[in-house]
A and B are shown apart, each in its own frame.
Chain A
């Protein structure tokens, strides 16, 4: 086990949630006091940029850079929206964070709002996280009592209101522009970009959308400094720690806070305690359902954004789902494609019709009715859908399909030649 400093999980205890007293005892709200009393909004934005923090919601865009696009000095209403939709299979880290320590997000929202000069914040939270939403409502009430939310916070002249907005299911709400439509009470199809939310977002006003873990990191960056934060990562390109949610065929499937850049092997063998039932590692999704598979040849790669891109995959949300050597990768990919096809909002043809076609092809192959031309058709669909969809949902669905075609084409061929699934006896 590593001696990783625990920032986000510092206060995590099994079955417990820390509220104001416990949070303060661990140094909570010191960053906020420091930010409001000693730092200008522009200094805060510079600090976040220097920390090299990259968004934890899946795309990994540098947070400080995103914040520089935001017209903080523009007068009138502006919004900070926190994305806690977290419906990508294999991803459950934000839920764990809010079960353990909801004040981190609340403090992060307040100082981020100050940095961006936004007067209203929303935390958009999925239907299944009712307990987490309750935790947040309580933490927000406590923060208000402490004078951290409301008018003229700590005599700074800055006002901020923070709301929790519950959703009602559907993965597409995680896409930031669909989320804004959903939050407004509109039908949650994604919006055309540009204009980007920084220019025209919630209610037509400048808006920043950030992930829960991204925002929860901000107070720690203020406390520890940009260099300290950057150096927490094991690779030069990385920064900070990361919440890794382990799942699938491991002996231990929990969520751990580990340095960015940790080798996959260590995550699997040390933290996951190896593949279950004494079996062998066959593949994994390194960062949630929309990331291309890694295979045993990748066990020594460092888990960070640029290294994983270099080997044809993505860091995503660092939800690591492992598959053992008895797993049929056609069946696993079919399960994933079914998810994306069902969750498609139906707005654009490559996604609505293309994913249905891929699902049908995989069902046919897995069901033993595959013909040789079906492999070519799969490749053609992959080609047709990649880069053509209106939002990144369909693009994400191509992640596991690309992994299947790159690493497990022989399994598809075996299904077709044998007239059935070789993994089902």
Chain B
């Protein structure tokens, strides 16, 4: 335990979050179940999960970095590389496909001047394809951060991008 107390979370977790995770891990019979929780919190604070985030998670839970890494890399909503300020997940599954999802994806790539997996030069947007987002009745849709936007058209998506760019400048 003494070792854990000297963990440096170097901005990946707040002091409070770190202490809460350590306390919680101490109460659980199987602390491993917290892996995704910690990784998601690191990502919320830092935008993505750097190597130091994997190591930090491993130390809190008493695991090896490799054990954390093999979990982190399984999930497509955990980023192991830097991403833009806003990650746009565009749904490419069947309901969105049936209502103009491909056209919307092409429009987004053209508007942002990037391909899937890339980040805009100003670091504002990363574009990623995603499977169904659970908004199938409001197709086509995207998720930005953890907010779903549905019934999109190229015009509506342009307005959304403009709002987010505007926000970033304020």
Contact = CB atoms under 8 A, between A and B. Distances in A.
Interface of A: 86-92, 95, 126-131, 165-171, 182-188, 203, 245-249, 253-255, 285, 289, 319, 321, 323, 327, 332, 335-336, 338-339, 342-343
A186 B76 contact: no
B132 A127 contact: no
B78 A323 contact: no
A169 B132 CA distance: 10
A406 B20 CA distance: 56
A183 B133 CA distance: 20
Given A90-B95, A170-B75, A127 B137 contact: no
B77 interface: yes
Contacts of B143: 128
Nearest to B97: A335
Given A247-B137, A254-B137, A335-B94, A88 B132 contact: yes
Interface string B13-47: 00000000000000001101111110110000000
A184 B30 contact: yes
Nearest to B135: A92
A332 B131 contact: no
A131 to B, nearest CB: 8
A129 B148 CA distance: 9
Contacts of A91: 132, 134, 136
Contact of B134 (A128, A248, A332): A128
A185 B135 CA distance: 27
Interface in B102-159: 130-139, 143, 146, 148
A168 B95 contact: no
A188 B138 CA distance: 30
Given A168-B78, A170-B74, A185-B36, A245 B131 contact: no
Contact of A89 (B37, B76, B99, B132): B132
Q: Which of A90, A168, A186, A289 has the most CB of B within 10 A?
A: A168
B70 interface: yes
Contacts, number: 129
B134 A166 contact: no
A182 B74 CA distance: 10
| Chain A to chain B: the 8 pairs with minimum beta-carbon distance, closest first | A185-B32, A89-B93, A168-B75, A169-B77, A247-B95, A89-B132, A130-B146, A247-B136
Contacts of A188: 74
Given A92-B136, A184-B32, A332-B98, A127 B131 contact: no
Given A89-B95, A129-B134, A245-B137, 15 more contacts: A87-B132, A87-B134, A128-B143, A128-B148, A166-B36, A168-B36, A170-B75, A171-B131, A185-B35, A247-B98, A248-B99, A319-B136, A321-B95, A339-B92, A339-B93
A169 B87 CA distance: 14
A285 B37 contact: no
B68 to A, nearest CB: 9
B131 A342 contact: yes
A253 B132 CA distance: 15
A130 B144 CA distance: 12
A188 B164 CA distance: 35
Contact of A170 (B76, B99, B138): B76
B33 A165 contact: yes
Nearest to B132: A89
A289 B94 CA distance: 8
**B37, B40, B74, B130: residue with the most chain A Cβ atoms closer than 10 Å:** B74
A167 B136 contact: no
Contacts of A336: 94
A203 B94 CA distance: 36
